[in-house]
Amino acid sequence: MADSPPITLCGSLARHPARLGAAMHGAAYEALGLAFTYVPFAIDDLAAAIAAMRALGIRGLGIAVPFKIEVMALVDRLEPLAERIGAVNTVVNDDGLLTGYNTDAHGAVRALEEVTSLEGKRILVIGAGGAARAVAHALQQRGARLHIANRTAEKARALASALGATYGGLDAARRLEGYDIVVNCSSAGMKEYGAASPIPEQAIFPGLVVMDIVYKPVRTELVRAAESRGALTVHGGRMLLHQASRQFELYTGRAAPLEAMDAALKTQIALTG
């Protein structure tokens, strides 16, 4: 039997994995003819999974909710952006040396910039976990004015003080008139965390930009409500696409075939919602 070329393994670590990542990364490998494969792993023990990454020589792993902060202590070094943000959503393995990156920041900005500019915009960020940290830092870098609203006030305070933003509880989601954009960065709306939207439907008005970073399902209760109220809607698949394209570049060293990844995303959404 002729030797086949070695296959490089990448994947993701999540408590409840989704299919979208595998669809997009797989399409990108195929588009460029790369001998890579992508496996979404469902895990509970993050430290054991990172040890397995070292033992098995897995090239790259996406890190999903709720592991984006915990993983920082398990890698060998952090890129400066991930360190500044305080969250890692991507780990790259260079011959046994693990580096933590943050591609969520890039993904959030690119997703929002598909529909709006950000400079000077008043933005309500809901959530203060790992994903919210990345999104809030990226938006602040783009010159937006932020208010952080979180279920646990202390975490909102910590994030807001790092950014010079204002903060408070989830009540802010009931009065949106003062905002141009609202981004749900909390897990609220995710199937496994309770499908309820963190924003009451009546608070949403035409012309408001509403982005949800939840992508399981892509059409969350919030996205559905925002569409029906005439808001400009950005679903969680858009951020996922742009953060995945940056991951692809880190794993392969090649420019991401964004069109192929976008087509795979759309096909997967049409299949599973």
Interface residue list for ligand ATR (CB under 6 A)? 65-66, 68-69, 127-132, 150-152, 155, 186-188, 193-194, 198
Cβ at position 267, least distance to ligand ATR in Å: 25
Reduced to 3 states (helix: H, G, I; strand: E, B; else coil), residue 66 is coil
Cβ at position 68, least distance to ligand ATR in Å: 4
Instruction: Select 108 or 256, whichever has its Cβ closest to ligand ATR.
Output: 108
Cβ at position 203, least distance to ligand ATR in Å: 15
Q: Any idea how long the chain is?
A: 273
Residue 183 CA to residue 127 CA, distance in Å, equals 9
Among 68, 121, 155, 266, the one annotated catalytic: 68
| DSSP 8-state assignment for residue 117 | -
- Dihedral sign, Cα of residue 180, residue 183, residue 188, residue 192: positive
List strands edge to edge, sheet with 181-184. 166-168, 145-149, 122-126, 181-184, 209-212, 232-234
Q: Is 68 a catalytic residue?
A: yes
Cβ at position 149, least distance to ligand ATR in Å: 9
Instruction: Select 158 or 263, whichever has its Cβ closest to ligand ATR.
Output: 158
Instruction: Select 43 or 69, whichever has its Cβ closest to ligand ATR.
Output: 69
Residues 6+ positions from 112 with CB-CB distance below 8 Å: 118, 139, 181, 183, 209, 211, 234
Q: At what angle do helices 20-32 and 236-252 cross, to 10 degrees?
A: 40
Instruction: Select 187 or 245, whichever has its Cβ closest to ligand ATR.
Output: 187
Residue pointed to by tokens 């591609």: 103
Residues 6+ positions from 269 with CB-CB distance below 8 Å: 20, 218, 237
Which whole-number Å values give the CA distances from 244 to 10, 131, 143, 224, in the listed order? 12, 14, 24, 24
Cβ at position 196, least distance to ligand ATR in Å: 7
Residue nearest to ligand ATR as judged by C-beta position: 129
Instruction: Select 27 or 214, whichever has its Cβ closest to ligand ATR.
Output: 214
Active-site residue list: 68
